[in-house]
Amino acid sequence: MDKEIKERVFAASYQKSEEGKEELYNYEKNKIHGVDDLANYNSLTKLPVLRLFNYKSSEIVKAYPELRYAVIVMDITQFKAVNEFLGRSEGDRLLLFIAGCLNDYVENRRFTVAGHMRADNFCLFTAYTNEEELSDICINIKRRIKTLSFAYRVIISFGICACPDERPAIPYLKDCATLALSEVKGKYYADYCFFRDEMRTNMLREKLIESDILVGLEQGEVVPYIQPKVDMITGRIIGGEALVRWKHHDDGLISPAEFIPVIEKTGIIINVDRFMWSRIFAYQKRVIDEGRTPVPLSLNVSRMHSVEDKLAHRILGMQERYEVPSEYLILELTESAFAMDEKNMNEQMKELRRSGFCVSMDDFGSGYSSLNMLKSRELDEVKIDKEFLSDMDNPKCRIVIRNLISMLKELDVKMIVEGIETEKQKEFFLENGCNRAQGFLFYKPMPLDEFDELMKKESR
């Protein structure tokens, strides 16, 4: 599908045509009249649920189409902790207080509707003349919540979508306000955020990535590249890291920095990882069948796999299918892979290590609990984060690196430094006893076939 057509399709799903708005309005109307009245209101706060909120807001727009309207979405950061630490009754008390704040606007401000979408998620529809009015609503609500006697610091975030056009689609305004909310939720330096067009552009871009990369997997656009690892003393290749690359049919080579965060957020990274693993297993199998000895290749394991109970089973199944000894594969994880479900990920890695796989931590030293991870002994190797190299002119940084290398040796943990780009960096690590590296000084990531030809030359 042509990119321009795709963008129009996605845009249409958010900004309804006049006919579409009317259909949605009638649908909501029929749904509302087709259920018990109690089902249209939240049982605790008595505010309209989303379906009724959309309908009541649409009725105002139909009656007064000449006005400008906005939707404010609000959310309580870590509301679950309120119920866990203070009890459900205190959580309910907070929700009722917020509902009261919103009801005050409904009673005292014309053309206003309040809604309770779910749990700690509320919305407010209102007419406005300038954006300052809307920010003042957010500030005033937060100020009132601060007056509530409560044994927990309540952090409220707001997303605002102010629509200058007449007759907006209410679900569209709410979705845009929610998108703006995601920009500020949980951040201490800002309470509210207005939706801007660039957010919608980014959203559309993300949706294009979501749909296109699945097609790309089927059509061979997603391919493995390898960045070799070297022994800095001899210069010989001792391994490599498998890196995903996407050669889009329209846009060419898309940067992993652009598509990896999107497919991680949507969970598609799991599909991509499995595809990459199978390609690398198949390649190592081919090398063995040709009578050559493979070098170990690292497979990236996304943090999203931490909730996958059968991760070890899946990897071991691939190993059995391709008949590749575990010594030729390294499982490379970041610290965040353990953060989501540390117990499950530790169990999965234990099982894989028992089967002979090496477990490596990428970006070691970039997180707060990197040193803690060493105590678990579920790691065989660490990759010293390249961010250390960016500050090597700092004497304190060099002291940290020297002692880090010394500690890893004492713990008998293998190490490799990534991001080596200069001879000066190379010499520093060699002088301090770290000879395994990966970086542009030696090799850039290359297509799998090029890596294979490189390895054939090395073996001659």
- The β-bridge relationship of strands 68-76 and 156-163 is antiparallel
Question: In the structure encoding, which two tokens stand for residue 36, read together?
Answer: 């018990």
CATH code of the domain made up of 211-458: 3.20.20.450
Nearest Cα to 119, choosing from 176, 148, 78, 58? 78
pLDDT by residue, tens only, the chain of 460 residues = 344 434 443 444 444 444 444 554 454 555 555 455 667 899 899 999 998 999 999 999 999 999 999 999 999 887 887 777 778 888 888 899 999 999 999 999 999 999 999 888 999 999 999 999 999 999 999 999 888 877 777 788 999 999 877 777 898 899 899 989 988 876 766 789 999 888 878 878 888 898 899 999 999 999 999 999 999 999 999 999 999 999 998 889 998 999 998 898 888 999 999 999 999 999 999 999 999 999 999 999 988 887 777 899 999 999 999 999 999 999 998 777 776 667 788 888 889 999 999 999 887 766 545 566 676 656 889 888 888 887 888 888 889 889 989 988 988 889 999 999 999 999 999 999 999 999 999 999 999 999 999 999 887 7
Question: In the structure encoding, which two tokens stand for residue 445, read together?
Answer: 């990531």
Tell the CATH superfamily of the 3-195 domain.
Reverse transcriptase/Diguanylate cyclase domain (3.30.70.270)
Question: In the structure encoding, which two tokens stand for residue 294, read together?
Answer: 């493979």
Angle between helical axes of 170-184 and 3-14 (0-180°, round to 10): 100
- φ, ψ (nearest 5 deg) of residue 158: -130, 140
What SS3 class is residue 291?
coil
Same CATH topology for 3-195 and 211-458? no
Assign residue 76 a region (left: φ > 0; alpha: ψ between -120 and 50; beta: otherwise). beta
- pTM, two decimal places: 0.70
Three-state DSSP string of 135-202: HHHHHHHHHHHHCCCCCCCCCEEEEEEEECCCCCCHHHHHHHHHHHHHHHCCCCCCCEEECCHHHHHH
Q: Where are the domains of the chain?
A: 3-195, 211-458
Cα–Cα separations (whole angstroms), residue 178 to 2, 75, 200, 290? 28, 9, 11, 55
